[in-house]
Amino acid sequence: MGRGWFGFEDVLGPEQILHLRHGKLGLEAIVVVDNTACGVAIGGIRMAPDVTLEECFRLARAMTFKNAAAGLRHGGGKAVIRADPAMPAPEKERLVRGFARAIRALEAYVPGPDMGTDETAMAWIRDEIGRAVGLPRELGGIPLDAIGATGLGLAVACEVACRHAGIPLEGARVAIQGFGAVGRHAARRLAERGARIVAVSDSKGTILEESGLDVAALLAHKARGEPVTSFAGGRSADPAAIVGVPCEIWIPAARPDVIHEGNADDLRARIVVSGANIPITAGAEAILEARGVLLVPDFIANAGGVICAAVEYAGGDESEALATIAEKIRANTEAVLTRARGEAIPTRRAAEALARERVEKAMAFRRFG
Ligand code: NAD
């Protein structure tokens, strides 16, 4: 196969790139269907004023790997709409519905929510073309953030990583950066498993308590709209303080690139389980691996959300979603950590190899391989 037109194509994909422009509607969007060997592509729609084709491709490829690594019967795709997501609701509805009608025939792609789109947008799309995931409960959706789909997966990944590192999860000290949909539920699920949550942070700051924070009380505090720093049951510090907290498990659940070459040496954890996407730069990953820190890569540990979406798409309910998340993330974390140790390679390389092999095996069953 040739190099392709855009410079980022390879043997896996993308299979289709759709560029949509509609002057009257003000619609400018791109859909990348990266690879559908494992099944119909699932991936979110990102709405932002500065999205690009290359970003869309990279996000689509990340979905190919995440879905394959999770063992889902889905390929990877992504859509970007160049627009301000904070536009007035009627205008947004017109735009999203217009986008939906424009992708009606692109049946290889099932849209889901991402930055700038939500379950209401998915409901509009379903109404137009009959397919979308991340739907409201009334339409058969499973509210993945409310049930803590990704947080559960992280807790299960921690169980497996602790076993590999020879650390009992019960009593293990955990620090979590970010106390939103992902971080909150990770804290809850880990506290249920006997771990000691010694620090959490949000965008305002960090709260620390060496003997373990009262997670239920902190959740109630946060639900009142308060920052974690005003919680009475701990000592408050600035947001950056979370990085140097002595602990067994450190969980990034906020933003990309928070651990980089400049602060990787400050991290005092034995295990890092990534909730956020790409929270550690490649250079920092190398520093941490060299120090013997066990890393569970993002697309293995944080696949709970997309597993939940796949269960929803297949017509399953909430309890099936939770059971499937636990089962798949346990098996995949185990497979990645065992392979990394057996082959003495970084865990990210082991995870990517596992995902790539699944996609390539699925491609080999196709008529033209
Ligand atoms: P969210 O908006 O609900 O929560 C984000 C949290 O991070 C908030 O508590 C915010 O205060 C905090 N935060 C922001 N900047 C911070 C900083 N500099 N220091 C410390 N905390 C900071 O988002 P979410 O849904 O919990 O997602 C968190 C991350 O996980 C994102 O990177 C997201 O892409 C990724 N992710 C989410 C899911 C999911 O199911 N929601 C799945 C996979 C990956």
Domain harbouring 190, CATH code: 3.40.50.720
Q: Closest Cα to atom 40, ligand 1: which residue? A: 305
Choice among 24, 66, 78, 328 that is catalytic: 78
Same domain, 189 and 290: yes
Whether residue 110 contacts residue 76, with contact meaning beta carbons closer than 8 Å, is answered with no
Catalytic status, residue 361 = no
Domain boundary among 141, 163, 178: 141
| Averaged pLDDT for residues 165-182 | 97
pLDDT in tens, 276-309: 988 999 999 999 999 999 999 999 999 999 999 9
Contact 276, 258 (CB under 8 A): yes
For the CA atoms of 286, 291, 292, 298, what is the dihedral angle to 10 degrees? -40
Pocket test for ligand 1, best of 58, 203, 242 (most atoms within 8 A of CB): 203
Residues 179 and 202 in one domain: yes
Is pLDDT above 90 for 1? Answer: no
Is there a single domain that holds both residue 186 and residue 295? yes
Same domain, 58 and 172: no
| Residue 70 is assigned to a structural domain of this protein | no
Does residue 197 belong to any structural domain of this protein? yes
Instruction: Please say if the pLDDT value at position 138 is more than 90.
Output: yes
Q: Around 141, how many Cα atoms within 13 Å sit in the side-chain half-sphere?
A: 25
Does ligand 1 have an atom closer than 6 angstroms to the CB of 99? no
Nearest CA to ligand 1 atom 43: 302
pLDDT of 2 higher than 70: no
**Residue 115 near ligand 1, beta carbon < 6 Å:** no
Ligand 1 atom showing the smallest separation from residue 255 Cα: 32
**In whole numbers, what is the pLDDT of the chain averaged over residues?**
96
Confidence of residue 367 (pLDDT cuts 50, 70, 90): confident
Per-residue pLDDT at 3 exceeds 90: no
Per-residue pLDDT of 315-364, as tens digits, reads 999 999 999 999 999 999 999 999 999 999 999 999 999 999 999 999 99
Read off the pLDDT of each residue in 38-64 and give the average, rounded to a whole number.
95
Mean pLDDT of 62-81: 96
Query: What pLDDT score does 368 carry?
Result: 72
Q: Is 238 in the pocket of ligand 1 (CB under 6 A)?
A: no
**CATH number of the domain where residue 58 is located:** 3.40.50.10860
Confidence of residue 369 (pLDDT cuts 50, 70, 90): low
The domain in which residue 161 lies consists of 149-304+331-354
Beta carbon of 255 within 6 Å of any ligand 1 atom: yes
pLDDT of residue 4: 84
